[in-house]
Amino acid sequence: MPSFLSSPRARLLLGGALLVVLLSFWKLSESSGSSYLPILKSSKPNAAIFILLAPNRITQALVALQNVEDRFNRRLKYPIILFTAEDEAHFITEDIKAKASHITNGRASFATATKESWDIPAWMDEKRVNSSLETIGFSTGYRAMCRYYSGFFWKNPALVSYEWLWRLDTDIQFHCDVPYDPIEVLISKKALYGFVQVNYDVSWVQPSLASNVSQFLSNNRHLIPADANQHFVWKGDAGVAKAMAGTAGNDDWTGACMYNNFEISHRSVWESSLYTKFFDHLEKAGGFFYERWGDSPVHSYGLAMSLRKDQIVQFDDLGYGLSSSEHIVKFTFGRYQHQGWAYECPKLDRCACIEDDDTRDFNNNGDAWFKPTM
């Protein structure tokens, strides 16, 4: 005589009953705060990694892509968008596309920055721009890049459908496997921005940026949250007061910048009415081409006037490096250490660490954002 479970209909009914029980326990755990069952996620974050390519850095970019895939993205599987300026798109050959596709298992695509977002605006004084190139330096291409990252990248059609935007540069390297998803960390902490390193920029390449930011703050005081972390970019209470009064300048600027060669941001930061008005103010002043206003200080000013300390996360355990400044984790006495902080390395092959006598590591200055208000 056949058993009850031998009937397909019976097995289907039993499976449905078990599913109802499991869902009931799941709902109970959600409402009571208990952890009988893990909270199931419907999908991974809506995010993309993007990199801007220069014609002379395409090989470097392919090496960076391989490193990114090896260290974390083969597991996370985020799409990667590779940008070029529209006038430089012809450097991207079918062979380069094939190599990028092979490295990323088909997750890489190519896009262009529009001429409107890249070229020098027609209203600008060409003689003044050329004079600045001689006195301050930095090419028009570099300045165009700074302007693009300051006010346009999240508007590009290739990125508009993504909620989280993870910028990397072509000369980066991850020395350690990344065992978690940094975007998931931001979401869990209800944060909107993630970085690795704080560094300090110089004022002589952007002599009027601080005063222009101060003028904006004075004219838009009603938009600035009371708990925004402005002490990150202005020196003490006196510096913040001068900035809000419209009288601050470079002497009041801390110089602190979150280096955005590694930057994870939620698009709401850039799409806010505050940042939109802020960039428009800077754009009208013309300093991206009349001077060399960097995207790192512009982002940092914008973040400091709009976000609280707890809305930003530093990722200081990635063993992340850049050709000009390495954030390296060293192996010492069974632990990986760097500048006074340490973390356990669950497997020795997680990090391809440099030799102990290598001097390329730097102080990541992460506490500059989190330090107590003076």
Enumerate the active-site residues.
263
> The tokens of 301 are what?
């000013």
How far from 16 is each of 2, 49, 64, 331, 338, CA to CA, in Å?
Answer: 21, 40, 48, 52, 53
Residues 6+ apart with CB under 8 A from 92: 53, 58, 82, 84, 110
72 Ramachandran zone, left/alpha/beta (phi>0; psi -120 to 50): alpha
- Determine the Cα–Cα distance for residues 86 and 113; give it in Å rounded to an integer: 6
Is the four-CA dihedral 337, 73, 172, 201 of positive or negative sign?
negative
- CB neighbours of residue 27 within 10 Å: 11
- CB neighbours of residue 25 within 10 Å: 13
Tallying the residues shown for the chain, one arrives at 374
Pairing of strands 80-85, 47-52: parallel
- Determine the Cα–Cα distance for residues 62 and 360; give it in Å rounded to an integer: 23
